[in-house]
Amino acid sequence: MGATLLPGLRERIDEAADPEEMRRRFISRRPTGRLGTMEEMAAAAVFLRTDEAASVTGHIFVIDGGQTL
């Protein structure tokens, strides 16, 4: 499961026996100490459409709150 609070993760947390504990467990595995947002994911996609990203080619942007560090 990713580091972004998308609807699927939100449902999984809400349906847990102890939603607060489940949320704490997900957050504890993130170097940023929080879950990412859909808006943060969208901002990266929007950036790639700007003139500032014109030289960005052949790169994979990992937006996971530092999980893969």
Question: Tens digit of pLDDT for each residue in 13-50?
Answer: 999 999 999 999 989 988 889 999 999 989 999 999 99
Q: Considering the entire predicted model, what is its pTM? A: 0.69
DSSP, res 51: G
On the question of pLDDT at 2 being above 80, the answer is: no
Query: Would you say residue 69 has pLDDT above 80?
Result: no
Most confident of 16-20, 29-33, 57-61, 63-67: 16-20
Amino acid occupying residue 59:
H
pLDDT at residue 68 greater than cutoff 90: no
Cα(66)–Cα(5) distance, rounded to whole angstroms? 15
